[in-house]
Amino acid sequence: MLKKALSLMVICTLALTVAACGPKRDIAVETPTPAPDNSGQSTETDTPKPEKLTIWANESEKEVASIRHITSLFTAETGIQVEVVPMNAREQSKTFSLDGPAGKGPDLWWATHNSMGKNVLQGLAEPYELDEETLKNYSQETINAVTIDGKIYNLPMVVETAVMYYNKQLLPEKPETWKELEGYAATYTNASKNQYGFLIDGTNFYYTNMFMQGNGGYIFGYDKDKGYDIEDIGLNNEGSLKGAQLIQSWFAKEYLPKSITGDVMDGLFKEGKVGAVVSVPASLMNYLDSLGDNLGVATIPTLENGEHSPSFLGLKGWVLSPYSKNKEWATKLALYMTNQASLEHHFVTAGEVPATQGVLTSELITKDPYFSAVAEQSKYATPTPNNPEISQTWEPMKNAYVFLSQGDDAQEVLDEAVSQIKEQILINNSSK
């Protein structure tokens, strides 16, 4: 019966990609001017210079302004003009799949790391050739996230991950543990009045995975030399079960309403009826408009086992076109846009948290409470798998948590979800 019900349910797949945004107030830092390239690779080369390079940037006004400023400095240094074309980040891979082969595509385009498996499979990305000095700027997890079959297909520029937002009127001090939040929920929650101690989108795998993974669960087994093992799915192991049962208990105690969605959570939090919520950086301005100075932002509370909650980490960066006639200069441009000075400018101008370790820990980030929370949480976050099969996990896990919210047996629900994931992967891979 459960399998039949799961198959019949139609629930939209999670759209993982989110856009970070800047704080409401101005950051009291003078906008830095990017210095000459310090990426570890010189802009000098024996390869003839093209007259122009073309890049597709995300269409956000602040992001485009920042990228245009940075590329103008690259032009001043190299003499190469850079055309920056604004385009919706979610539409770029689809558009590039048509424009690239037709010779109308850019030299560089913008993408999330978790889309790389699909992009590489479709022949839309050229691997970068990067030296050791460049790689030292990133954590090993970041490099793993953009690596497929030993090759790097995305040069990361910014990171994003979920954080905790809390109402200082209800919670004057930031909650350090989920146990602390549960204690507050036990006394404050009144479901009949739509009043809750805390809320998460409890049927959204983007958020629920952290409780599974934090207790020893995993999506796919991973080997640094072989990549993700789609035969090894850990979403129904002992750790995943423990995490799922924790969330199920919150539904049972009415700490979370069974009708929970991101919109419901946002609305109640903005009305001042919720102590704390877990959401993405894009929620910042939305919450600030309603709560103002009463809004606090912090890392996600620790689990009962003392582990930090391993939220999903998203990386966004530059993809090198396999159809570019100027791959070497396009690579140098990507390196220039991701050097330290360029990233500092991009943070101040566009409010995006840099992906490289040096800028991530700089005073520019750590002195601002909103962005420092994202930067700190990113240390505990885990990159979303970048293999194409990750797309087969979202809907079965979404459905699974709907059934968990209704009180179905947790082990049976997870077993069925894993069975569906494996079945869908087999169908998809056999049709290639």
List Cβ neighbours of 99 (8 Å cut-off, separation of 6 or more).
105
**Same domain for 303 and 321?**
no
**Same domain for 56 and 111?**
yes
Is the per-residue pLDDT at 350 higher than 60?
A: yes
**Same domain for 208 and 284?**
yes
Is 303 inside any structural domain? yes
**Same domain for 104 and 187?**
no
List the CATH number of the domain containing 223: 3.40.190.10
pLDDT in tens, 59-115: 999 999 999 999 999 999 999 999 999 999 999 999 999 999 999 999 999 999 989
Q: What is the mean pLDDT of the chain?
A: 88
Q: 3-class DSSP state for residue 230? A: strand
**Same domain for 263 and 180?**
yes
pLDDT in tens, 212-259: 999 999 999 998 778 899 999 999 999 999 999 999 999 999 999 999
Question: Could you tell me which residues are beta bridge partners of residue 159?
Answer: 315, 353
Is 151 inside any structural domain? yes
- How many other C-beta atoms are found inside a 10 Å radius of the C-beta of residue 147? 18
**Same domain for 296 and 423?**
yes
Is the per-residue pLDDT at 420 higher than 60?
A: yes
Is 45 inside any structural domain? no
Q: What average pLDDT score do residues 277-282 get?
A: 92
Q: 3-class DSSP state for residue 289? A: helix
Is 351 inside any structural domain? yes
Domain containing residue 138: 52-160+314-383
Nearest of 219, 216, 222, 267 to residue 243 by alpha carbon? 216
Nearest of 427, 421, 395, 392 to residue 117 by alpha carbon? 392
3-state secondary structure 242-278: HHHHHHHHHHHCCCCCCCCCHHHHHHHHHCCCEEEEE
**Same domain for 187 and 231?**
yes
- How many other C-beta atoms are found inside a 10 Å radius of the C-beta of residue 293? 9
What do you get for the CA distance between the two ends of the chain, in Å? 31
List Cβ neighbours of 244 (8 Å cut-off, separation of 6 or more).
208, 211, 212, 400, 401, 404, 410, 413, 414
CA distance 259 to 262: 10
CA 187, 261, 114 angle in degrees (round to 5)? Answer: 120
Output b/e per residue, 165-193; b: 16+ Cβ within 10 A.
Answer: bbbeebbeebbeebebbbebbeebbeeee
Q: What integer pLDDT is reported at residue 432 of this predicted model?
A: 59
**Same domain for 294 and 321?**
no
Q: What average pLDDT score do residues 368-380 get?
A: 88
Q: What integer pLDDT is reported at residue 2 of this predicted model?
A: 36
**Same domain for 301 and 338?**
no
Is 41 inside any structural domain? no
Residue 308 has which token pair?
């930090």
Q: What percent of the chain has pLDDT over 90?
A: 75
Is 20 inside any structural domain? no
**Same domain for 268 and 415?**
yes
Which range has the worst mean pLDDT, 107-116, 201-210, 281-290, 392-401? 281-290
pLDDT in tens, 381-408: 999 999 999 999 999 999 999 999 999 9
Question: Could you tell me which residues are beta bridge partners of residue 167?
Answer: 295
Is 25 inside any structural domain? no
- pLDDT grade, residue 17 (50/70/90)? very low
Number of domains in the chain: 2
Is 297 inside any structural domain? yes
**Same domain for 412 and 318?**
no
**Same domain for 190 and 334?**
no
**Among 363, 383, 403, where does a domain finish?**
383
